Amino acid sequence: MQYIPFGDAALIIKWSNSISEKVNRHVIAALHQIESAALPGVLDLMPSYNELMILFDPCCTDAGQLQSAIMALPPPAKQNAKTSTVLRVPVCYGGEYGPDLSHVAGHCGCTEKEVIDLHSGVHYRVYMLGFTPGFCYLGGMPPALACPRKEKPALRVAAGSVGIAGKQTGVYPLESPGGWQIIGRTALPFFNAHQAPYFLAEPGYTMVFYPVSVEEHMELVQQFSSGTYTAESFITQSSRQNIKKPLSAPDDLLKSKSLKERGKDG
Amino acid sequence: MAKVYLTAAGLLTILQDGGRTGYQRYGMPVSGAMDALSMRVANALLGNAPEAPVLEATLSGPSLVFEKDTCIAICGADMSPEIDGNEIPMYESIPVRAGDVLRLGNAAWGCRGYIAIAGGFIAPGLMASCATYLPAGIGGIQGRALKKGDILEYAEPSGKVIDRKLGKEWVDWLKREEPFLIFPGPELYRLTRDSIFQFLTNPYTLAAESNRMGYRLQGELIRFKKGAGADIISAGIPQGTIQVPGEGQPIVMMADRQTTGGYARMAVLAQGELSRAAQLKPGDEMRFGEARPEKAMELLKKERELVKLARSC
């Protein structure tokens, strides 16, 4: 772990030069530790894969003072690696909402169904957010799904689009131009500009995707827009073992429970 | 509440305030006034909160008609403001009467002009800020630049006449032409010594595509040491960060920057240089110099002194 002052208004704490869940756990633990300490002069905290950037008011404090204050804090609460906050993301794969699903299947040498099973069959870690409001950098996509970006970015990618770019997968929180291969769409609002909570995901969350039909997707869209359904009900606390189980049989899960129940109990 | 009518919008006029801090971990850009100092001074001249909503006009200003008597203050870029055809001074509180037409022209100096109004403009807030962030269409008025015919609201005038004026020496200080002071960034070590030397010696020009997100600098290309790449694991980029992509053309990150970036962070502007940088326009030159902490602190102290003075002069 290294403290690196960056100019007169930022201090970086850097753990290593690599991307790993272990390193990112340190980042998130320090984020919560420093936030709850409410150190004077701290304006904002910006966690990323392997760094925590602390932005401060140079008229209140400086990098040296801040470093001493942080080093004097009691060690961060040990996080239980076995439990995690899980965000379950319903995705309508293929068709109109996932125009590039067949391209990805072709590139990966498998069927569309296999792409869906693979994509929705694992759990992902939200390492950090950035790029656009609410965009999650996810780790954990099966390497078999890796597919290069489009040569020519699309001018308009709808909010909620689920895409693959290289070894990464992610959800577009806003309509924007983009070069990702779009395999589906979720009704979950990752960024809600109208009311708090504005953002659905936090760094450190576990995210899982599960397939829904067009009808179920439409129903969700309608329920979100009418406010009868809140996105937070898709967030649960789970032990890691329990996350995997339902994913091995997503179809059964789909048939056995109503959307509302599924959203609630994960 | 009173209303102001836009009879002309100018090139790019947007509502801004201090921006949205506290949400960068969610990828929410801070946004806010590019030249925060001009915003603070304009507000201070009227006795407003330092980050009360103001209009930020870019390169050419808007024309406004006021519904009720109030006071305004204009700071930043010199857009030759006039009321009903009579030139009015900047950097002081100006009483305006109901029906007056305030007209701003093209920027003779600087890039961004700020119009503050007694009590502040009133707009719906998002995350405790009404700052317009155009790429996501949020804040301000429907998340967009103002257009002809728009109606803005401002605080009900108190009837109190404010008479404050900033001395010329302060305005001269704001317009100083000196190298921009920079601190080293965490990936500076990846650059060749020659490139660092060149960067601190040669002027750079703001490219045409420079905007509120960032300034692309044209000039001597920055070279990386053998085996050292430009790409980094995506990480935080505060305002003023100078990033260098592989092709070697540096980018200065400004108010609407993304919260994280994937290019080498070569340096960062001293905080006290950010507002001055906001007054540069495409085609302008930027020179850089190494910041000493004491010098950087001096700039900040002077900024604070200036705002304090504007509040009490």
For A47, the closest of B25, B293, B297 (CB atoms) is: B25
Total number of domains in chain B: 2
- Residue A186 domain-assigned (yes or no): yes
Are residues A43 and A88 both part of a single domain? no
Tell me how many domains chain A contains.
2
For residue A132, the chain B residues in CB contact (below 8 A) are 27, 135-136, 258
Contact B288, B296 (CB under 8 A): no
**CA distances for B170 relative to A98, B112, B166, B266, angstroms:** 58, 18, 7, 32
Task: Say if the Cβ atoms of A8 and B183 lie within 8 Å.
Answer: yes
Residues spanned by the domain of A127: 83-265
Query: Cβ distance A90 to A231 under 8 Å?
Result: no
Residue B186: give the domain boundaries: 180-312
| 3-class state of residue A237 by DSSP | strand
- Contact indicator for B75, B38 with CB cutoff of 8 Å: yes
Judge if B7 and B49 occupy the same domain: yes
- Please say which residue of A71, A100, A121 terminates a domain: A71
CATH number of the domain where residue A176 is located: 2.40.100.10
What value of ipTM does the predicted structure carry?
0.95
C-alpha distance across the termini of chain B, in Å: 27
CA atoms within 13 A on the CB side of B294: 0
| Residues A7 and A115 reside in one and the same domain | no
Distance from CA of A198 to the nearest CA of B (A): 8
Question: Which position has the token pair 């293929």?
Answer: A94
pLDDT of res. A153: 86
Dist CA B75 CA B116 (whole Å): 8
Which of B34, B73, B19, B24 is CA-nearest to residue B273?
A: B34
In this prediction, the residues of chain B whose per-residue pLDDT falls under 70 are none
Residues of A in contact with B130 (CB under 8 A): none
* Tens digits of residue pLDDT in A65-91: 999 999 999 987 766 666 789 999 999
Tell me how far apart the alpha carbons of residues A144 and A140 are, in angstroms, rounded to a whole number: 11
Q: Which residues of A touch B21 (CB under 8 A)?
A: 43-44, 55
The answer for B 57-116 residues in CB contact with A (under 8 A) is: none
B66 and B166: one domain? yes
Alpha-carbon torsion (B283, B289, B291, B297), positive or negative: negative
Say which residues have a Cβ less than 8 Å from residue B292's Cβ, sequence separation at least 6: none
Q: Which residues of B touch A8 (CB under 8 A)?
A: 183, 270-271, 291, 293, 296-297, 300
Residues of chain A whose pLDDT is less than 50? Answer: 245-266
Other Cβ atoms within 10 Å of A54 Cβ, number: 28
Q: In the prediction, which pLDDT does A250 show?
A: 37
Q: Are residues A206 and A110 in the same domain?
A: yes
Residue A67 is part of a domain; what is its CATH number?
3.30.1360.40
Q: Give the residue from B171, B198, B231 where a domain finishes.
A: B171
List, in sequence order, every beta strand (DSSP E) within B59-149: 63-66, 70-78, 82-83, 86-87, 93-96, 101-103, 109-117, 121-122
Q: How far is CA A95 from CA A79, A99, A185, B76, B150, in A?
A: 41, 6, 10, 52, 41
Sign for the CA dihedral angle at B119, B125, B127, B131 comes to negative
Asked if A130 lies within 8 A of B186 by C-beta distance, the reply is no
B124/A contact by beta carbon, under 8 A: no
Indicate if A149 and A31 belong to the same structural domain: no
B72 shares a domain with B48: yes
Q: Which of A23, A50, A71 marks a domain boundary?
A: A71
For residues B146 and B232, state if they share a domain. Answer: no
DSSP per-residue codes, A162-201:
EEEEBTEEEE-SS-EEE-SEEEEEE-S-SB-SSSSS-BS-
Q: Give the DSSP H/E element, type plus range, for residue A120.
A: helix A112-120
Contact indicator for A133, B26 with CB cutoff of 8 Å: yes
Closest CA to B295 of A7, A67, A64, A66: A7
CA atoms in the 13 A half-sphere facing the CB of B173: 16
Question: What is chain B's Cα-based Rg?
Answer: 20
Same domain, B163 and B304: no
Same domain assignment for residues A165 and A110: yes
Say if residue B132 is in the same domain as residue B245.
Answer: no
Give residue-wise pLDDT tens across range A98-114: 999 999 999 999 999 99
Same structural domain for residues A60 and A120?
no
Q: What is the DSSP letter of B139?
A: S
Cα B309 off chain centre by: 20
